[in-house]
A and B are shown apart, each in its own frame.
Chain A
């Protein structure tokens, strides 16, 4: 196996006395597609908050491309190529849709792109995600679904090596889910590793090469999708006792 792209080593995160992540380790090979699933409140979003630097973990270490990034602020991690979408969309409300994409292009990706082509680049991404018609719309006027697409578009604009999508497909129609999966497959073929957090099982099972299951802040299972579906612990976590 090649050296991991991301190596999350035994991280712990508490909020007050509540332990949201308890000694969880996750690793990811370059170009791998990992699914992260678990019941609501199991710590999935907290995990990616720690990986992206939105929160700092209390214990353990996070290594990206061989470099310890545990103490690095979020913006530096974004520049290294870690991009995420937010489960609850966080658009830049005073900007148009295309301007939203210019922020990651001009900051996260700035040193890795051709500065003269930024607008074309942003427009290409909008076209891929199917938001091109709305490019110059104020993003405050977007529907919930378009805002989710914008989340994904913005993450792509950061030119990631690792994309983490946090329930990007919630609320999308079945065709739209397939569209987004296609986009993520294409992105992955270009060498980008993906962590997909998703409640739509059909999507996450089809997309992932490997799945990690969290429950109450612990990793309870890990393996290829077929094994996970038949894992009794996972069944118990999802269905209760």
Chain B
């Protein structure tokens, strides 16, 4: 077992201990929100960071995940793991389909088309009466919370598992041959294609994976907030976080979104408690602008630049020029 899986197991065990030792539900509500951000950030980064296709439609996938969950819960009363898998599958297919339709567009046109897609989805769901339409739907929290003290503790652990799965997948992808192909696409798509990289296929893989994890992040959401309407599912705050977290952490490596999600998520939770939740969107905005203009490589990029400079200043006296 590698270091990564040891770490993942450690995180999982720590999560379990946390649910056992702490009773104040507030921490689990906060933890849930941070983990939700982490999953979405990791999902966004697979397409936006690894592959270089900036996507403004995250909210759409997340919300569809949440509403698939509402619909299947109402129709068949399926247990949560099935809802999560179903949402993942539907949103994965949606990622594949929209990818097929839009990934031939370059850069800014792709970004705009994903934004348009999110708006279309919001309209569709607002008019879908079965799941409450514009007025929303109440979800009764299931009575059974297994061996956890409350249902939110269970939801917290569910999110932790999805988060570990998402991060493990992103890590696997970025170290695989496919990941090298994605990096090549991000750097120069035409050159990649001419070097034998099947660019369309790899972009579709990446869009599908993005959709799967966005959907999975959305599936438990109705149970978490217990009342879901288009306004909360398509919330600007959730969508912006999914983009801001990877950009703050660093988009080029799998752990960038994790770092960004932890830092931004914690900051937001602390602000909510100490000042007000209204301030959060403002904070994301300001921090985001700061990073985009001053440190486009995110925190990971800053650290890499710093260590490279140190290495260079150490090596300089002996090496005496590069060539």
Contact = CB atoms under 8 A, between A and B. Distances in A.
Interface of A: 52-54, 73-75, 78-79, 83-84, 86, 90-95, 99, 102-104, 106-110, 133-134, 137, 154, 158
A118 to B, nearest CB: 10
Contacts of A109: 196
Contacts of B252: 94
A75 B180 contact: no
Contacts of B190: 54, 74, 90
A83 B180 CA distance: 19
B22 interface: no
A53 B198 CA distance: 12
Contact of A103 (B181, B198, B200, B323): B181
B192 interface: yes
7 contacts: A53-B194, A54-B193, A73-B198, A86-B191, A94-B186, A104-B195, A107-B195
A92 B183 contact: yes
Nearest to B185: A92
Nearest to A90: B191
Contact of A75 (B183, B186, B197, B323): B197
Contact of B188 (A83, A91, A102, A134): A91
Given A107-B181, A134-B323, A92 B196 contact: no
A92 B187 contact: yes
Contacts of A134: 322-323
A94 B186 CA distance: 9
A106 B198 contact: no
B250 to A, nearest CB: 12
Given A92-B188, A94-B252, A95-B187, A106 B180 contact: yes
B125 interface: no
A145 to B, nearest CB: 11
B193 A74 contact: yes
Contacts of A54: 190, 193-194
B184 interface: yes
A84 B196 CA distance: 11
Nearest to A141: B322
Given A103-B181, A133-B323, A134-B323, A154 B187 contact: no
A94 B50 CA distance: 11
Given A93-B188, A94-B183, A108-B195, 5 more contacts: A74-B194, A75-B196, A90-B191, A107-B195, A134-B322
B314 interface: no
B177 A78 contact: no
A154 to B, nearest CB: 7
B199 interface: yes
Nearest to A146: B323
A103 B193 contact: no
A79 B191 contact: no
Nearest to B191: A90
Contact of B196 (A93, A95, A108): A108
B192 A103 contact: yes
Contact of A137 (B184, B197, B322): B322
Given A106-B177, A134-B323, A92 B194 contact: no
A79 B194 CA distance: 9
A93 B194 CA distance: 16
B193 A75 contact: yes
A133 B323 CA distance: 7
A140 to B, nearest CB: 10
Given A103-B181, A107-B181, A137-B322, A93 B187 contact: yes
Of B184, B191, B193, B323, most buried by chain A (CB within 10 Å of CB) is B191
Interface in B177-221: 177, 180-181, 183-184, 186-188, 190-200
B196 A104 contact: yes
A227 B319 CA distance: 52
B187 A78 contact: no
A133 B322 CA distance: 8
Contacts of A110: 196
A158 B196 contact: yes
B186 A78 contact: no
Contacts of B180: 99, 102-103, 106
Contacts of B181: 103, 106-107
